[in-house]
Amino acid sequence: MYLPPYSPELNIIEILWRFIKYHWIEMSVFQSYTNLKDYVQRILSEYGTKRVIDFSLFEKKFYPLVIKN
């Protein structure tokens, strides 16, 4: 399968970062580097348990966002 040189929509890390940046992160976190770093580490530690991206829904043009309570 051919992949173009830059294809963020096909790169799982790019998709994960997009969800962190646009859906899961709070604006107040950007006040300092330490806050940002700690928050991103917490999100990554919660990924798979509290935070999940359902990649199968991408074929249906959804932005799947699931946060387990």
Domain ranges of the chain: 10-67
Structure tokens at 10: 């096909």
All residues at 6 or more sequence positions from 21 whose CB lies less than 8 Å from its CB, including other chains: none
pLDDT single digits (tens) 13-67? 888 888 888 888 888 999 999 999 999 999 889 888 888 777 666 554 544 455 5
The pTM of the whole model exceeds 0.95: no
Asked whether 43 and 29 are in contact (CB, 8 A), the reply is no
The DSSP string of 3-55 is: --S--GGG-HHHHHHHHIIIII--GGGGG-HHHHHHHHHHHHHHBTTTEE--G
Structure tokens at 47: 């990924």
